[in-house]
Amino acid sequence: MRKQQTVGGEGNGWCLITPNSGAILLKGAAMALKTKDLLAIKGMTADEIKLILDTAATFKDVSERDIKKVPTLRGKTIINLFYEASTRTRTSFELAGKRLSADVINISTSTSSVVKGETLIDTARNLEAMKCNIIIVRHSCSGAPEYLSKILKSSVINAGDGFHEHPTQALLDMFTIREKLGRLAGLTVAIVGDIAHSRVARSNIHGLTAMGAKVRVCGPPTMIPPGIECLGAEVTYDMDRAVEGADVVMMLRLQLERQASGLFPGVREYARFYGLNTARLAKAAGHALVMHPGPMNRGVEISSEVADSTAVILDQVTNGVAIRMAVMFLLSGGTKAEA
């Protein structure tokens, strides 16, 4: 459960009734996220997702300018607390914070007190004692960011927790799809790979279905969690069927570190059945987007030819900064009541 705050969405938009135009929302109308934290896509409404995507569209322009900095979060402190390896996500959050003029501190646990045995909660409390405003957490335990959010006054942003969710990744994926195809509702999105261990897949299933898209998940039966249909996704073990007519093909990274656990017989066989190559992609819609959250295993889940020619993987990375700026902006503003 995310924290519900007593912040109305009324902003300072006044509603005026005029005889000829009915009710109109006057200029200055505003919306807000009702939470202090961003922990999961599950439970978010289509309006909330749309608010983040719309806000991100304008923040994208900031990164295109000569002076890639706006003073929006001047004086705020943001801490990147990463208990798992990351290049893309950590850099993206760091750039997002810096382009909003916040001070961003990175903590990688291998060089911190964590190696001395400090617990997650103690580390977080100590960081908060130094008056930070937003803590961005990546942790291998599902639910770790939510746990912190209940104890800390700072905003907590989930940057990926275990096999649970990776909300900003799903938001940037939806942003990229909407930017390239103009809409989300009514699209068919195939998500292919290790669904069971993918927080990216879970966040995307929640987000895409909330926005009215149809989601197909596909992978070897050992990598499809039982009951995933309950989230509103269609399941198939046949990649050709998953890709057929799809508007978006989202490939997940094959987590090679799990090879020893016997979930799949071998990399070559996996690539043959579940790899995306030009021939398979031809079965998708003509305008189909190929996406990948990175890092890619070229020649395994995605062929180099597809990755370098048709994929929008680098657009996803560009948009990631804009999405994270929008989330920080929306969580920072406003006089949110203490929970």
Among 4, 47, 61, 304, binds other proteins (CB under 8 A): 61
DSSP notation for 255-290: -GGGGGGTSSS-HHHHHHHH-B-HHHHTTS-TT-EE
Stretch that binds other proteins, among 51-59, 134-142, 242-250, 314-322 (CB under 8 A): 51-59
Count of beta carbons in the 10 Å neighbourhood of residue 52:
23
> 120 vs 132, which CB is nearer to other proteins?
132
Are the C-beta atoms of 145 and 139 separated by less than 8 Å?
yes
Among 43, 45, 65, 113, binds other proteins (CB under 8 A): 65
Among 63, 112, 310, 332, binds other proteins (CB under 8 A): 332
User: Nearest distance from residue 151's CB to other proteins, in Å?
Assistant: 22
The site string for other proteins over 6-45 (x = CB under 8 A, - otherwise) reads -xxxxxx-xxx-x-xx--x-xxxxxxx-------------
If one asks whether residue 87 binds other proteins (CB under 8 A), the answer comes out as no
**Pair of tokens at residue 166:** 């990776």
Are the C-beta atoms of 77 and 102 separated by less than 8 Å?
yes
Stretch that binds other proteins, among 4-12, 149-157, 219-227, 253-261 (CB under 8 A): 4-12
Count of beta carbons in the 10 Å neighbourhood of residue 156:
27
DSSP notation for 96-119: HHHHTT-EEEEEEGGGSGGGGT--
Number of chain residues interacting with other proteins (CB under 8 A): 41
If one asks whether residue 333 binds other proteins (CB under 8 A), the answer comes out as yes
CA separation for the pair 96, 80 (Å, rounded): 11
SS3 67: coil
* Binding footprint of other proteins on the chain (CB under 8 A): 7-12, 14-16, 18, 20-21, 24, 26-32, 51, 54-55, 58-59, 61-62, 65, 67, 69-73, 100, 329-330, 332-335
